[in-house]
Amino acid sequence: MKALVIGGSEESIETISLILKVRWRDLVVLHVAESGEALELARSEQPDIVMLHLDSASPGCFDLISQIRRFSNLPVIVLSDIGNVVDKVRALEIGADDWISRDCMPMEFIAKVNAILRRSYPHSNNHLSSFFNGRLSINYAAHEVCMLGKRVNLTPTEYKILYQLVRHEGSVVSCTDLLRSVWGADYEADPEFVKKYIYRLRCKLEEDPAKPQLIVTERGAGYLYSTSRYHPN
């Protein structure tokens, strides 16, 4: 788990690291004091969670949440000593996921962070921030897809379909589920739509789109993202 912690004293960073390491042994904490640098790191480092210290010395905290929300849906937690409900409501309304008092108990802190990660990364025990399996890599924050290190340009719909398949790697995703998650529950799209997009994806990702090995059709069931059937020539 990678956490980007913005602001706060060295001592408070150390406390946060100690507490979170009880639950996430592989924890990596990136600490920055400057908000400008924080934005850069939030983009480039793809942390799993952002923790922002809010105190009277850091009034720019709210702006920073808005700026992060312009390019990412990363979970954001505000850590503060201020018990002011107005500030708490403001932070939540501009995009923060939670507000945690700095004097909260360690187990409470862990439970809150875990609840937010569970909600933000529902299909991953590892709280995915990027996907890599040797051939295909996806940077979820930037929506960048690379095949064998080379950038592949996907349309937003193609990306959403690939994202769904990769999220359920190894399991069949039905056409109905793809339609619902990509086009929305209210949109009555033709299943043929999915077929067309799958074909386009294969043209961009597969060595031989006529004999797909990454995005496999499971007749009558749906589509499957699988690396196990891939046999390089």
Partner 1 sequence: MQNILIIHPDVAVRDRVRFLLQHSGFGVVGTTGAQEAMNELGKGCPDLIVMAEQSCTFNGDELCVRIRELCQAPIIVLGQYAEEAGGIGFLEMGADAYLASPLNMRELLARVRSLLRRYAEERQGASHGT
Residues lying near partner 1 in the complex (CB under 8 A) are found at: 70-75, 85-86, 88-89, 92-93, 95-98, 101, 104-105, 107-108, 111-112, 114-116, 119-122, 129, 140-143, 160, 163-164, 167, 181-182, 184
CB-nearer residue toward partner 1: 167 or 202: 167
At residue 91's C-alpha, the angle toward residues 90 and 95, to 5°, is: 115
CB-nearer residue toward partner 1: 114 or 230: 114
CB-nearer residue toward partner 1: 62 or 121: 121
CB-nearer residue toward partner 1: 16 or 173: 173
The least CB distance from residue 46 to partner 1, in Å, is 8
Residues in the chain: 233
Alpha-carbon span 185 to 178, nearest angstrom: 10
Bridge partners of residue 138, in order along the sequence:
131, 145
- With helix as H, strand as E and coil as C, how does 110-140 read? HHHHHHHHHHHCCCCCCCCCEEECCCEEEEC
The least CB distance from residue 156 to partner 1, in Å, is 10
The least CB distance from residue 207 to partner 1, in Å, is 26
Residue type at 17? S
CB-nearer residue toward partner 1: 120 or 174: 120
Query: In the sheet that 2-6 helps form, which strands lie side by side, from edge to edge?
Result: 28-32, 2-6, 49-54, 76-80, 98-101
Bridge partners of residue 145, in order along the sequence:
138, 152
Residue type at 18? L
The least CB distance from residue 76 to partner 1, in Å, is 10
Burial of 178 (0-12, 13-18, 19+ CB in 10 A): buried
The least CB distance from residue 166 to partner 1, in Å, is 10
CB-nearer residue toward partner 1: 144 or 207: 144
The least CB distance from residue 47 to partner 1, in Å, is 11
